[in-house]
Amino acid sequence: MIAKKMVKFVEGSSVTRAMFEEGKKMAVEFGAENVYDFSLGNP
């Protein structure tokens, strides 16, 4: 089962890439030390 609001992300472009890019934006906005990177590597 998947959350309904996530369906559009999964159907379209890479949700992993989108989350990676959002994390980079948040690191700039809030500081890298305040954003935890859960990725296993470069998507």
Q: Where are the domains of the chain?
A: 4-34
Per-residue pLDDT, 41: 63
What is the model's pLDDT at position 30? Answer: 96
- Per residue in 1-43, pLDDT tens? 778 877 777 776 677 788 888 889 999 999 999 998 877 665 5
Distance CA 5, CA 27 (A): 24
- The whole-number pLDDT of residue 14 equals 74
- Nearest CA to 24 out of 14, 6, 39, 7 is that of 39
Give the end-to-end CA distance of the chain in Å, rounded to a whole number: 24
Q: Is the pTM of this model over 0.75?
A: no
Residue 3 CA, chain-centre distance (Å), reads 16
- 2: CB partners within 8 A, 6+ apart: 10
